[in-house]
Amino acid sequence: MSDGSLRQKRSTPEVEGGYEVGLEWGSSLIGEYGADRRWRSGMKKLLLALNEWLERNEVGRDCMTCNDLDVISFISSQWLVEVDGRCQTSDAEGLPLVSPTTVDVVINCLNACFRLLGRDGDGDPCQSSRVRAFWKAYREYLLQRGVVEESARPLSWEKLMKVITYLRKKMKVLKGYPEAQAYRDGGAFLYLWESWQRCGEGLRLQYKEINFERGVVQPGYTKTDRQGGQFTIRLRDPHSDEETFLGWLPKMVESFGRLGQDIRKGYLFRPMRGEGPMSGGGFNKRIEKWFEEAGVCEGESGHSFRIGGVQAGIEDGWSLGEMMRQGTWSSIRTFMRFAFAMNAASSRALGGVAREGTQAIVAGQSPVTYNVAGQSSGTVRTGETVLQPGGRWNSCCRSKITDRPDSASRAKLEEIEEDRSRQREVLSRVSGPKGDPTRRRLGRSREREGGGLEEALSRRSVALVSRRPSSRSPRPSLSPSPRSLRNVHGTVVSFPGGGGGGGGGGGGEGDVLSRKLTQLELNCLLAISTLESSPSPPASDSPPSSPAAVDSPTSPSAAVNSPPCPPAAVDSPACPPAAPRNSIKETIEAYIGPSIFKGAAEHSADTGDSQINGSTPSAQKVYGRDGQRLRFTTMKSVGAQASAFCFSRA
DNA sequence: AACTTGATAGTTCTACCGGG
DNA sequence: CCCGGTAGAACTATCAAGTT
């Protein structure tokens, strides 16, 4: 805090010099910190690929003059084909497809390229409604081909207890590092289950963040609270008869202490080598190891704990505010989407039925409109939960591309899968899970995905019904189930039914958020009570799909049979006048320098790598706020030069 | 005001690789 | 062979702007 009387001149002025210096510094700043810092090798390669494609097809335009139809044609006939072999998504027949998200990313990437080239606003072909329409059409096209969104597999308390019991048994014979690892893994399992934290955030837990007296954790950083301190995560009472994280922790500290490591300093869940927190990838492997050894592995991942925890919370009648606080959600909309399947894609997959109506049909209940604290309103089913925490776009029978049979029919595939599934089941029962982890993983994904769209939809609804019968109303948070004792940590936050005001949360939480959440709870309860008083629709046991959706994966619709590429694109009359070929490359080279293009072309040819956002060999390693290593793909010089180019053009 | 769409920073998951 | 790190692909969450 300065007293203001002695304002010294700073020793490091940002800019000192003439116009050129100012321009250079400004452009380098944009290159490094600006929104366009994504100008990286991927973008560069994409732009070059577009330019090269335009040239090869003798379109008569380049990336400075091309139009939206050129872009659509390029994506359809060049880019989609090129990335096809690497994509992880496949359709109902097992054929590889590029996910809608990836197409979205490439359009946005081209968009950024055009901006950097000075083609802002109307001059940017990617801003065209035709390009946006193309993306939407592509998404629909994939849905028609049986590509649906895949969610992470939710974990159940029972399964977690099987693993923890197994770990307890195992630790009696383990010594040294393996013992500490087992304690660490079990501790992480219990913590993630109780805290509902995102995997990456939960694994960064530090001992000092735990308030043992109050039985809470105050994370210093979450995705939705970058400053920290806004959320208070409750942990279960260690005096409970059941396994709890706080009950587990002392032994975990002891086991690391025997190895000479004090985990009360730094990260609790740390790899055996290195100082940082355990990585998500590493943790997933630990999950696979222990869950398989315990004989309960069904493809769980780090995200499964969060989903399973929330599911249990919903079942146990947690209030909306409690759940949002615990899961560190700051947006009601996002939480609703997560917890109540407010997912546009899933409703579209049902075949054009209006979203709200569709969701109601799936749940077998009438839709209810919620209105929360002045925020956007939406339509949600209550009394039923379908967890849909986003997920990957995938077919119902995704498989490794190299393993895909070329002409096997869908029925045959399903038959084979069924056999394999049976074999796996028998094998894991008799001899325990052995064999190649990749194959096992593949097997699990196949098990997960099963048949077609219809099956996926029915699976979703079956799972939902099995968790909570549609007739069952949500448990009021004032009367938690006995089971809730292991999920609701400490006191259930109750709030006065009609009294408004007060209620809620810990005193340490932000006032604004607290008020917001209390208001949310009130409004949500109101909505729920409205639903409970309204009669259930007769369609409660109707199948969760429309005829269109059932037939879509194999139906010979136009979308399925015709590639999403407008053949007339290249010669469209809407095209602007042709520019002299190669001029753009020369122009760019004049500003940015030929070396960039040279490098990009070589790299592209060598590796065939076309990633847009990924890091490059030039990626720099820097350390983030809590010492964790972040990956910054700055491409500093390129960004600066590109910006300089834009500035120069202006 | 309610709702939709676009942009983008950040996260998760998987394949692959190298060290012990 | 196990463990953990890295890179890349895909996905999530959020905000702001635009549309109804």
List the one residue out of A326, A377, A321, A231 whose CA is nearest residue A515. A321
Give, in Å, how far the C1' of B19 lies from the CA of A469.
52
Instruction: Give A622's pLDDT tier (boundaries 50, 70, 90).
Output: very low
**Does residue A290 contact residue A167 with C-beta atoms inside 8 Å?**
yes
**Residue with CA nearest to B16's C1' atom:** A438
For chain A, the residue count is: 650
Give, in Å, how far the C1' of B20 lies from the CA of A442.
28
Q: Which helix (H) or strand (E) holds A202?
A: helix A199-202
Strand C, nucleotides < 7 Å from a protein CB: these are 3-15
The answer to whether A199 CB sits below 7 Å from nucleic acid chain B is: yes
Q: pLDDT tens digits for A102-158?
A: 676 677 667 766 765 666 656 677 766 677 667 767 766 766 666 654 455 667 788
Ramachandran angles phi, psi of A149, nearest 5°: -85, 140
pLDDT of residue A179: 78
The answer to whether A126 CB sits below 7 Å from nucleic acid chain B is: yes
Q: pLDDT tens digits for A366-396?
A: 222 111 111 122 222 222 222 222 233 333 2
**Residue with CA nearest to B6's C1' atom:** A108
pTM beyond 0.85: the answer is: no
The answer to whether A620 CB sits below 7 Å from nucleic acid chain C is: no
Taking all residues of chain A, what is their mean pLDDT, rounded to a whole number? Answer: 50
The answer to whether A107 CB sits below 7 Å from nucleic acid chain B is: yes
**Whether pLDDT at A529 is above 60:** no
Least confident of A44-48, A163-167, A327-331, A449-453: A449-453
Beta strands A216-217 and A629-632, pairing class: unpaired
Name the H helices within A175-244.
177-195, 199-202
The answer to whether A286 CB sits below 7 Å from nucleic acid chain C is: yes
**In chain A, residues 330 through 349 whose Cβ sits under 7 angstroms from any atom of nucleic acid strand C:** 330-331, 333-335, 337-338
Strand B, nucleotides < 7 Å from a protein CB: these are 2-16
**Whether pLDDT at A79 is above 80:** no
Give, in Å, how far the C1' of B11 lies from the CA of A282.
15
What is the phi-psi region of residue A150: left when phi exceeds 0, alpha when psi lies from -120 to 50, beta otherwise? beta
pLDDT of residue A69: 78
**Whether pLDDT at A198 is above 70:** yes
pLDDT of residue A303: 72
pLDDT of residue A380: 23
**In chain A, residues 526 through 555 whose Cβ sits under 7 angstroms from any atom of nucleic acid strand B:** none
Q: pLDDT tens digits for A83-118?
A: 655 555 556 665 666 666 667 667 766 776 676 566
Beta strands A378-380 and A368-370, pairing class: antiparallel
